[in-house]
Amino acid sequence: MSNPAMAGVADSGVAADELKQFIERLERLEEEKAGIAGDIKEVFAELKGRGFDALAVRRILTIRKKDFAERQEEDAVLELYLQALGMA
């Protein structure tokens, strides 16, 4: 059983070289991502050590990624749900 998508790779050394370059780029990026994740972990450990609440900071980071209108809409839905549950 042959895979038509792989036919071009098997038939052409150029395609195989190109595929290898993509794989190597992805591997480098994964290494960088792991390094950045480690850096982020260290910053969170530092802020926690200084007495800040890491969960609150993570929530702030999430909020800051959204535009004002999106935040307003989410807040309105949350408020509506809290009221429906008698929690507001």
Q: Model confidence over 6-31: pLDDT tens digits?
A: 555 556 678 999 999 999 999 999 99
Residue 13, pLDDT score: 74
- 51 φ/ψ angles, rounded to the nearest 5 degrees: 95, 5
Residue 6, pLDDT score: 59
- How far apart, in whole angstroms, are the C-alpha atoms of residue 88 and residue 76? 12
- How far apart, in whole angstroms, are the C-alpha atoms of residue 72 and residue 19? 45
CB 29 within 8 A of CB 37: no
| DSSP 8-state class, residue 50 | T
Mean residue pLDDT across the chain: 91
pTM of the model: 0.66
Q: Domain residue spans in the chain?
A: 1-51, 53-88
- Stretches where the chain sits below pLDDT 70 are 1-12
